Amino acid sequence: MYKIEEQDLQYKTYVLSDVTAGSQVEVVPERGGIITRWRIQGQEVFYLDTERFTHPDLSVRGGNPILFPICGNLPDNSYTVDGKQYTLKQHGFARELPWEVINQSADGRASITVSLKSNEKTKAVYPFDFEIAFTYELHGDTLVIHQQYSNLSSIPMPFSSGFHPYFLCGDKNQLEVAIPSGQYLDNKTKEIYSFTGNFDFSQDEIDFAFGQLTSKSTSVTDQSRGLKLEIDYDDFSTTLVFWTVKGKDFYCLEPWSANRNSLNTGENLTVLDPGTTLTAVLQLRANFAAIA
C-alpha cells in the first residue's frame, strides 16, 4: 500500500510511503525541490544537517540537492553568452529556489512531480526560458528520479545537471566503493590520478571527479551499517563525484551530466534546441539486508 501525506513543519513536507516495505521519502518543494530524508524500516539512508536546514539563507547540507544549470563551480563564478557576462554561484540556483508540486499519485507506487520554471530572477543570471520537472517514485527499497528538461527559449540552451546526495555512513574505513572508472581528477590539486578502488579517509577532504565511466552503475557497501547502496544512471550522466570531509558521518556520490566549468569549456555540455525536451532517469536502491 502506498500513501502520500502532507506535513506542515518549518516548510510544507510531502511524505511518500510504501507501507508494506516500511520505506519513506520526504520532499520539501520550497527548499529546492529536495528530498531531505529517505528511510527504510526506520533506518536513514540520507544524512541531513537538521540544524543548518532551519536556516533558509544557508544551502542545505544533506538529502539530495538538485544541481542546475551547472554542476560544481565556474572560475570567478562567471560565463559568457552572446558577448555578455553572467554570474552563477556553485551548483546553480535550482537548489535554492522554491519548486511547485504539479502531480502526485499513490497508484502502484508513491510518486510526486515537482517543477521549476524560469523567472526574472533566474534570467538575470541565466538568460534562458526553461521548465524542469522531476518525478520522485518510491517502491520498496528503490527510489527512481525521472527528469525532464525543456527549452522554452528561441535559442539553444546550454546546461549541466546532477544530484548531490549525502549518504549517512558509519566507519568510512569500512566503505567499499565500486566506481566504474580507472582514474579521477582531484579537484584540490587539479591533477589526474589512477583509481585502485581505495580512498585515504585520513585526508581532511576528498573531492574526486571520475569520468570515462565504463558502466551505468555504481555502488557503495557500508560494512559498518550492513548497507549496500546501488546507483544506476543513463547516458545523461557522464561524471561521478565522490566528496566527503573528515569528521563527518556522510559521503556524497554524485551523478553529474558534466564536470565543473562545462558551461565555459563545452566538455559534455548539454545544448538543448529551442522547443525541445530531454529526459533522463536515475535509480537508487538501498539494501540493508544485502550483507547482513
Which pLDDT score is estimated for 289? 74
Rounded Cα–Cα distance for residues 245 and 207 (Å): 9
**Mean pLDDT score of the chain, rounded to an integer?**
96
Judge whether 158 and 127 are in contact, CB under 8 Å.
no
Q: Which helix (H) or strand (E) holds 122?
A: helix 120-123
In a domain? residue 292: no
Rounded Cα–Cα distance for residues 21 and 46 (Å): 17
Judge whether 180 and 214 are in contact, CB under 8 Å.
yes
Domain encompassing residue 173:
2-287
Angle at 124 (CA atoms; ends 121, 129), nearest 5 degrees? 80
Q: Which helix (H) or strand (E) holds 52?
A: helix 50-53
Percent of the chain with pLDDT over 90: 96
In a domain? residue 64: yes
Summarised one tens digit per residue, pLDDT across range 255-278 is: 999 999 999 999 999 999 999 999
Nearest residue to 256 via CA among 67, 9, 41: 67
For residue 188, pLDDT over 50 is answered with yes
User: Could you tell me the CATH number of the domain that includes residue 229?
Assistant: 2.70.98.10
Summarised one tens digit per residue, pLDDT across range 132-159 is: 999 999 999 999 999 999 999 999 999 9
In a domain? residue 19: yes
Summarised one tens digit per residue, pLDDT across range 27-77 is: 999 999 999 999 999 999 999 999 999 998 899 999 999 999 999 999 999
In a domain? residue 194: yes
Confidence of residue 290 (pLDDT cuts 50, 70, 90): low
Provide the number of structural domains found in the chain.
1
For residue 291, pLDDT over 60 is answered with no
Q: Which are the contacts of 174, defined by CB distance < 8 A and separation ≥ 6?
A: 222, 223, 224
